[in-house]
């Protein structure tokens, strides 16, 4: 693509600013590992929330969501449950508070607060570190593919997609490695502002250029409806017949079963809490448990409104103006080209440079968060715990630089072997997360669960997740989840019950500090013997009610910008009314009852 001097100047200027921010925060980040990885727990909750939302506003995920909405229409608003996005509601309502009370640096370190330092705890600690590092590599590869395709189209130099991705990842690595979480958060906020403005600009262009009648002329019946029955009832014959093959290959003709499976899978993954990545890091970086909960609540607003404004806008532009080119691809439809096409053809000079910088910013925000997470596990959970517990702050910071560089290199290598965004998306949200759900759920709610149960639950879940594509090749990846989950649950229970409980003082300490609800009666009775004034957590019913209201609230936050772009103002008004009603309920039944601790 040919870019004017002004466009190129904006893009290059953005990169210069981010690297200068990394240099500026180097001194603050290098005080100690708490400053490097958690910003000294000194940053405001709303800044951390915007940073976290920015890290989820990635180019690869946006390209994937655009392709989903193109194919499935407004029913695409249900697809975020695949991750599931509503895990933010569980964290908002109660899990962020519980997690922040632990007062640790990483998810692996948290294991010692729950299981102590016995053999089972050490095995659990190691497997969490492995899971976290594999997750980082997977997400780095995922981002590598998306940004390479994007940059090859928009940037003017004759380089391959992989070469562009390599250059951009290295540039991101420079400011992250230098400035730690301070640098990541500062650039995230800048990137979020740019992306929000970008989303609004593209939405205005889409609304002005595309009428509801123009959309109706190129899509099948029911494309503009979010409602569904057991079957998808969406036939692209006569419009773009090859899209039907995409739906068949996705295995989603029985759409009702798919949504129920997303809800089933999402519930257990959400009950397990955040995976050990940048989301968990932001929660642990908050000043107080209340701030951690408020951060997770704001995430949904900051993450969903601008992102789906952008997704819906790009989708309608592609439907109306890119239809002929997509039809010409036949069975080799490349939906990942929709986003680059829309920007390349509808954005004027000057704004184009700003928007490209914004999308590059979204990529850099995602990748920076994961680059900053990996060394926390290497340095804090391997080197400091097992190799050199008395290492100086300077040595730990220097090792963090080296670990960041190493995992950046591994992630780039993984990116070179990934074929497309959809393949790695399916791997992350099915195989990788399915093996995580059962043991990480049980650790919060069952007193008898121990380190051995956690290790064997994680191990069996991850192994079975990797084997499922060969054992059940005709099933869509999401339908592997019940089998993986059942195997992991069984291993967790059996391993816990055939081994001794953890030391009583460890379990009591965890229960007193975190104060979870669940099956804790034997431990609660022992706590009451020494501390009769201890207050049991009796908020289960209230928390579950708030979770249901929160999921409806979050879904309306997705639906509102989509209907707004489609100019279906009646449906947009209903979504806005649902948002306001559920916001009022959450204010009264969640926010007003948050305890300051």
Confidence of residue 423 (pLDDT cuts 50, 70, 90): low
Helix (H, G, I), strand (E, B) or coil at 519: strand
In a domain, 465, yes or no: no
Report d(CA 123, CA 111) in Å as an integer. 10
Q: Is the pLDDT of residue 37 over 60?
A: no
In a domain, 399, yes or no: yes
The pLDDT value recorded for residue 277 is 67
CATH number at residue 20: 1.20.1730
Q: Which residue has the tokens 């240099």?
A: 23
The pLDDT value recorded for residue 50 is 83
In a domain, 281, yes or no: yes
CA of residue 470 relative to chain centroid, distance: 27
The pLDDT value recorded for residue 102 is 81
The pLDDT value recorded for residue 34 is 60
Indicate the DSSP class of residue 383: I
In a domain, 438, yes or no: no
Report d(CA 61, CA 122) in Å as an integer. 35
pLDDT tens digits, one per residue of 83-117 = 888 999 999 999 999 998 887 766 667 788 899 88
The average pLDDT across 283-311 equals 88
**Whether 276 contacts 108, CB under 8 Å:** yes
Q: Is the pLDDT of residue 25 over 70?
A: no
Query: Left, alpha or beta for 148 (phi > 0: left; psi -120 to 50: alpha)?
Result: alpha
In a domain, 477, yes or no: no
Q: Is the pLDDT of residue 35 over 90?
A: no
Q: Which helix (H) or strand (E) covers residue 33, if one does?
A: helix 33-38
**Whether 244 contacts 236, CB under 8 Å:** yes
In a domain, 256, yes or no: yes
Confidence of residue 54 (pLDDT cuts 50, 70, 90): confident
Structural tokens at position 494:
């059996």
Helix (H, G, I), strand (E, B) or coil at 394: helix
Helix (H, G, I), strand (E, B) or coil at 446: strand
pLDDT tens digits, one per residue of 166-207 = 888 887 777 666 666 666 777 778 778 888 888 898 899 899
**Helix extents (H) in 322-350:** 323-328, 338-346
The average pLDDT across 24-50 equals 67
How many C-beta neighbours within 10 Å does residue 535 have? 7
Residue 519 backbone phi and psi in degrees, to 5: -95, 80
Report d(CA 479, CA 488) in Å as an integer. 15
Instruction: Give me the number of domains the chain comprises.
Output: 1
pLDDT tens digits, one per residue of 502-545 = 999 999 999 999 999 999 999 999 999 989 989 899 999 999 99
pLDDT tens digits, one per residue of 132-167 = 777 777 777 777 777 777 777 777 788 888 888 888
Omega of the bond prior to 84 within 30 degrees of 0, cis?
Answer: yes
In a domain, 508, yes or no: no
The pLDDT value recorded for residue 162 is 84
The pLDDT value recorded for residue 559 is 96
The pLDDT value recorded for residue 122 is 85
CA 182-41-109 angle, to 5 degrees, is 105
Q: With 0-12 CB in 10 A as exposed, 13-18 as middle and 19+ as buried, what is 597?
A: exposed
In a domain, 158, yes or no: yes
Helix (H, G, I), strand (E, B) or coil at 135: helix
Query: Left, alpha or beta for 273 (phi > 0: left; psi -120 to 50: alpha)?
Result: left
**Whether 341 contacts 322, CB under 8 Å:** yes
Percent above pLDDT 90 for the chain: 31
Give the residue numbers spanning the domain of 374: 5-418+548-583
**Whether 575 contacts 77, CB under 8 Å:** no
Q: How far apart are the first and last CA of the chain?
A: 54
pLDDT tens digits, one per residue of 450-486 = 999 999 998 998 888 878 878 887 777 778 888 888 9
């Amino acid at each position: 693509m040919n870019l004017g001097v002004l466009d190129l100047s904006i893009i290059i200027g953005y990169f210069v600013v981010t690297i200068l921010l990394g240099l500026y925060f180097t001194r603050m980040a290098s005080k100690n590992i708490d400053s490097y990885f958690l910003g000294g727990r000194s940053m405001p909750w709303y800044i951390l929330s915007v940073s976290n939302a920015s890290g989820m506003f990635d180019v690869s995920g946006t390209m994937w969501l655009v392709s989903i909405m193109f194919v499935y229409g407004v029913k695409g608003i249900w697809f975020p449950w695949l991750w599931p996005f509503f895990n933010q509601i569980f964290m908002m309502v109660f899990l962020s508070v519980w997690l922040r009370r632990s007062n640790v640096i990483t998810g692996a370190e948290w294991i010692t607060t729950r299981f102590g330092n016995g053999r089972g705890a050490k095995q659990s600690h190691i497997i969490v570190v492995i899971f976290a590092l594999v997750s980082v590599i997977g997400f780095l590869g995922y981002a590598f593919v998306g940004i390479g395709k994007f940059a090859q189209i928009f940037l003017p130099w004759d380089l391959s997609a992989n070469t562009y991705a390599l250059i951009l990842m290295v540039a991101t690595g420079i400011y992250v490695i230098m400035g730690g979480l301070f640098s990541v958060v500062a650039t995230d906020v800048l990137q979020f502002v740019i992306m929000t403005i970008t989303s609004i600009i593209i939405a205005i262009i889409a609304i002005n250029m595309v009428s509801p009648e123009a959309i109706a002329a190129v899509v099948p019946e029911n494309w503009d409806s979010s409602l569904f029955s057991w079957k998808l009832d969406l036939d692209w014959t006569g419009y773009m017949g090859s899209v039907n093959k995409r739906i068949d290959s996705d295995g989603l003709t029985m759409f009702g079963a798919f949504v129920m499976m997303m809800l089933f899978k999402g519930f257990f993954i959400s009950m397990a809490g955040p995976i050990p990545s940048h989301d968990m890091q932001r929660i642990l970086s908050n000043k107080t448990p209340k701030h951690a909960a408020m951060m997770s609540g704001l995430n949904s607003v900051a993450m969903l409104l601008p992102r789906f404004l952008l997704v819906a806008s790009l989708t309608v532009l592609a439907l109306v103006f890119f239809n002929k080119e997509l039809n010409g691809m036949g069975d080799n439809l490349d939906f990942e080209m929709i986003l680059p096409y829309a920007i390349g053809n509808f954005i004027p000079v000057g704004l184009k440079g700003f928007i490209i910088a914004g999308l590059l910013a979204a990529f850099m925000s995602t990748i920076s968060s994961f680059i900053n997470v990996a060394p926390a596990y290497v340095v804090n959970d391997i080197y400091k715990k097992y190799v050199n517990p008395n290492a100086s702050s300077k040595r730990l910071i220097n090792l963090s630089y080296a670990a960041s560089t190493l995992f950046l290199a591994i992630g780039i290598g993984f990116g070179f072997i990934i074929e497309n965004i959809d393949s790695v998306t399916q791997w992350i949200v099915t195989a990788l997360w399915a093996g995580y759900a059962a043991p990480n759920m049980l650790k919060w709610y069952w007193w008898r669960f121990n380190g051995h149960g956690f290790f064997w639950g994680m191990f069996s879940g991850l192994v079975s997740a990797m084997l499922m594509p060969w054992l059940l090749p005709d099933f869509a990846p999401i339908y592997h989840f019940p089998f993986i989950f059942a195997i992991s649950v069984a291993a967790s229970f059996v391993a816990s019950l055939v081994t001794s409980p953890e030391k009583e003082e460890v379990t009591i300490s965890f229960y007193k500090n975190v104060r979870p609800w669940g099956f804790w009666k034997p431990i609660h009775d022992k706590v009451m013997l020494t501390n009769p004034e201890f207050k049991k957590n009796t908020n289960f019913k209230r928390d579950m009610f708030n979770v249901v209201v929160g999921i409806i609230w979050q879904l309306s936050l997705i639906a509102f910008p989509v209907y707004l772009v489609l100019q279906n103002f009646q449906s947009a008004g209903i979504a806005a009314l649902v948002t306001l009603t559920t916001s009022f309920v959450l204010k009264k039944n969640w926010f007003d009852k948050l305890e300051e601790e």
